[in-house]
Amino acid sequence: MDAFLSDVIATIHLAVVAFMVLGILLVLIGWPLGWRWIRNPWFRLGHLAITGCIALNAVRGELCFLTLWERSLRARAGPKDRSFVGGLLHDILFVDVPQKELDRYYLAFGALVLLSIVCVRPRFRRREREAAGVS
* pLDDT tens track for 57-67: 999 999 999 99
What DSSP line would sit under 31-89, residue for residue?
HHHT-GGGG-HHHHHHHHHHHHHHHHHHHHT---HHHHHHHHHHHHH-GGG--HHHHHH
Q: Which residue has the higher pLDDT, 79 or 94?
A: 94
pTM: 0.83
d(CA 112, CA 20): 11
Mean pLDDT is lowest, of 1-5, 16-20, 118-122, for 1-5
d(CA 107, CA 24): 14
Q: How many domains does the chain have?
A: 1
Range of the domain at 90: 2-132
Tell whether the model's pLDDT for residue 132 goes beyond 90: no
Tell whether the model's pLDDT for residue 47 goes beyond 80: yes
Q: Is 131 helix (H, G, I), strand (E, B) or coil?
A: helix
d(CA 70, CA 47): 22
